[in-house]
């Protein structure tokens, strides 16, 4: 093998290894179920998410009679104010604690705000997630809901059914495949049932099987997914 051919082969191998390493770096997962115990991959506004995600079945802890039916340990329950046996204990919180108003009175629907996910590509035929809380639709005066947003336009939306118990909901997103989207959890109400509950969002293929988020994020454009130290701790 002559010197030129050998150098070309070495260059090709280095290029392949570089491309593979970049693809692996971007093929991380997404905090779709809040099991980081924080809001990694999400950006909040307002005060509604100051004590989120919440830990465990808080409604049952206060004998609500409507179990949360969350997945894992952590979930978004915007009436809740308990962040687990470690952080919660440090903050003087107890299982069953609820949100409060500006005067410190129990007021589960008082805080308002939004929570927006990182961008991701729609690759599935559908999206499914756990949803509960209030039935205050998008487009009304005080919405409490989860929206799917593409190009700053709400293309899908869902509310709870005035029940703390979450149930599995689904959107058909087959017509949106290939587009860049974000999820936005909205709490714009301080009235009765003025809070959403949300957890465990997935994209699914035509057979209804959930697509790993690492597969979804691997096709995203480089630079779309900023990696924070919190993400590094979980994903790498």
Number of domains in the chain: 1
Q: Do 198 and 130 contact (CB within 8 A), yes or no?
A: yes
The enclosing H or E element of 169 equals strand 163-172
Taking 90 as the threshold, does the pLDDT of residue 28 lie above it? no
Q: What is the pLDDT of residue 219?
A: 62
Taking 50 as the threshold, does the pLDDT of residue 223 lie above it? no
* pLDDT, greater one: 23 or 59: 59
Among 153, 125, 161, 133, residue whose Cα is nearest residue 54: 133
In a domain, 8, yes or no: no
In a domain, 73, yes or no: yes
Average pLDDT of the chain, as a whole number: 86
DSSP H helices in 81-180: 89-90
* pLDDT, greater one: 154 or 7: 154
Domain containing residue 150: 36-235
Q: Enter the DSSP assignment of 208.
A: S
In a domain, 57, yes or no: yes
Confidence of residue 17 (pLDDT cuts 50, 70, 90): very low
How far is CA 147 from each of CA 71, 73, 108, 138, 170, rounded to the nearest angstrom? 20, 23, 22, 8, 12
What is the spatial distance between Cα 34 and Cα 139, in angstroms, rounded to a whole number?
Answer: 27
Residue 38 main-chain phi, psi, to 5 deg: -145, -170
């Amino acid at each position: 093998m002559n010197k030129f051919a050998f150098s070309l082969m070495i260059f090709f191998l280095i290029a392949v290894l570089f491309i593979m390493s970049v693809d692996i770096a971007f093929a991380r997962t997404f905090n779709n179920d809040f099991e980081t115990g924080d809001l990694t991959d999400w950006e909040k506004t307002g005060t509604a998410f100051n004590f989120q995600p919440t830990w465990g079945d808080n409604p049952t802890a206060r004998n609500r009679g409507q179990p949360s039916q969350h997945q894992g340990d952590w979930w978004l329950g915007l009436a809740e104010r308990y962040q687990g046996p470690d952080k919660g204990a440090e903050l003087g919180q107890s299982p069953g604690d609820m949100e409060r108003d500006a005067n410190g009175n129990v007021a589960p629907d008082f805080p308002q705000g939004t929570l927006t996910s990182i961008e991701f590509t729609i690759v599935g035929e559908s999206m499914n997630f756990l949803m509960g809380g209030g039935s205050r639709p998008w487009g009304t005066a005080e919405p409490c809901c989860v929206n799917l947003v593409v190009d700053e336009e709400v293309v899908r939306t869902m509310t709870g059914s005035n029940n703390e118990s979450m149930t599995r909901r689904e959107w058909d997103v087959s017509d949106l495949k290939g587009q860049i989207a974000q999820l936005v959890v909205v709490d714009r109400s301080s009235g009765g049932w003025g809070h959403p509950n949300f957890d465990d969002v997935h994209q699914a293929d035509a057979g209804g099987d959930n697509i790993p988020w690492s597969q979804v994020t691997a096709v995203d454009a480089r630079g779309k997914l900023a990696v924070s130290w919190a993400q590094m701790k979980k994903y790498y």
